[in-house]
């Protein structure tokens, strides 16, 4: 959507983008500084993902993340944007017991953060939750394929929808569309499976490691910017080396302090 003159991205712009073959871009964000930068740069939507578990809180998985942890991060991101559409991720344990719990969590994000939509994981199994949230007037971004909150059940970071299992992927995709989701994230599925889903659905598909044939692309910003100590997934292209930049800056500053090169006279106050 980058070239379109859009003052504020709305759900209808996702739909227009699909109809006109314009690619949608999304990045995760967990704070107001990156949110403001990505917003000004024209990223269409910012996901305050439960990947904050790994990238902010230092957990090994997203499972321990709570609603109370994500609310202040989401508020910071939503408060920093002028154009981008902000999606709040519903963490593990905040919607699975049924539509009532899901709606309660969605209400919290919408009332307490200023987010524009919520995201939750699961296809057929989450359709009733999506239907209830949408019926309350809250846009839902669905998330199928590899769903990190189920990583123990899925046996780790395993590609989904291969071979005959594409039928389950399609069933999940149709279930979330039918339940009222305005877009669906496809994570770690083969490119051809993602193409089939994209062709069959009327709502836009967003790839996270699902190849080029979807309506949009989403990446975890720290992977994309090279600010990570962990393993970078195969599907990520690094657009910066922030680990290198910050390491060099920290080493140079340490050396300057040791040698007396910092602070200089220009950094000191007059009496
Ligand atoms: O939390 C997150 O960052 C996500 C994306 C990987 C889709 O859910």
pLDDT tens across 142-151, in order?
A: 999 999 999 9
First to last CA, the chain: 54
Tokens at 163, concatenated: 């071979």
Ligand 1 pocket by C-beta < 6 Å: which residues? 28, 47, 49-51, 89, 143, 185, 187, 208, 218, 220
- Write down the domain spans for the chain: 11-240, 241-271
Cα–Cα distance for residue pair 151/50, rounded to 1 Å: 14
CATH topology of domain 11-240: TIM Barrel (3.20.20)
**Residue of minimum CA distance from atom 8 in ligand 1:** 49
| Beta-strand pair 45-48/24-28 | parallel
Q: Are 46 and 28 in contact (CB under 8 A)?
A: yes
% of the chain at pLDDT higher than 90: 95
Q: Are 101 and 95 in contact (CB under 8 A)?
A: yes
Q: Helices 32-41 and 67-80, interaxial angle, to 10°?
A: 40
The residue-averaged pLDDT of 257-266 equals 97
* Of 67, 65, 117, the residue nearest 87 (C-alpha): 117
Q: Are 164 and 123 in contact (CB under 8 A)?
A: no
* Of 218, 194, 216, the residue nearest 17 (C-alpha): 216
pTM: 0.97
% of the chain at pLDDT higher than 70: 99
Annotated binding-site ranges = 50-51, 89, 119, 121
* Of 65, 24, 74, 72, the residue nearest 47 (C-alpha): 74
Q: What are residue 206's DSSP bridge partners? A: 185, 216
**Residue of minimum CA distance from atom 2 in ligand 1:** 49
| DSSP element (H, E) containing 108 | helix 99-113
The residue-averaged pLDDT of 157-166 equals 95
Residue 263, preceding peptide bond in cis (omega within 30° of 0): yes
Q: Are 92 and 59 in contact (CB under 8 A)?
A: no
Whether the per-residue pLDDT at 168 is higher than 80: the answer is yes
List the beta strands (DSSP E) in 7-116: 24-28, 45-48, 85-89
């Amino acid at each position: 959507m980058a070239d379109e003159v859009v003052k504020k991205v709305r759900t209808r712009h996702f739909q227009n983008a699909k109809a006109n073959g314009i690619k949608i871009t999304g990045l995760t964000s967990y704070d107001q500084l990156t949110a403001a930068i990505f917003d000004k740069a024209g990223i269409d939507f910012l996901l305050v993902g439960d990947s904050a578990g790994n990238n902010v809180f230092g957990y090994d998985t997203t499972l321990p993340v709570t609603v109370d942890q994500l609310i202040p991060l989401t508020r910071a991101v939503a408060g920093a944007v002028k154009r981008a559409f902000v999606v709040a991720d519903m963490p593990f344990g905040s919607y699975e017991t049924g539509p009532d719990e899901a709606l309660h969590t969605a209400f919290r994000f919408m009332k307490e953060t200023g987010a524009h939509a919520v995201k939750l994981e699961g296809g057929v199994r989450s359709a009733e939750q999506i239907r209830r949230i949408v019926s309350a007037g809250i846009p839902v971004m669905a998330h199928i394929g590899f769903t990190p909150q189920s990583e123990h059940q899925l046996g780790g970071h395993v590609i989904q929808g291969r071979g005959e299992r594409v039928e389950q992927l399609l069933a999940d995709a149709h279930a979330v569309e039918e339940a009222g989701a305005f877009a669906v994230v496809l994570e770690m599925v083969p490119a051809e499976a993602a193409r089939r889903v994209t062709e069959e659905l009327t709502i836009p598909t967003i790839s996270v490691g699902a190849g080029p044939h979807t309506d949009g692309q989403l990446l975890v910003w720290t992977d994309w910017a090279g600010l990570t100590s962990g393993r970078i997934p195969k599907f990520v292209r690094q657009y910066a080396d922030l680990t290198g930049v910050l390491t060099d800056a920290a080493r140079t500053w340490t050396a300057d302090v040791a040698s007396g090169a910092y602070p200089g006279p220009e950094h000191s106050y007059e009496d």
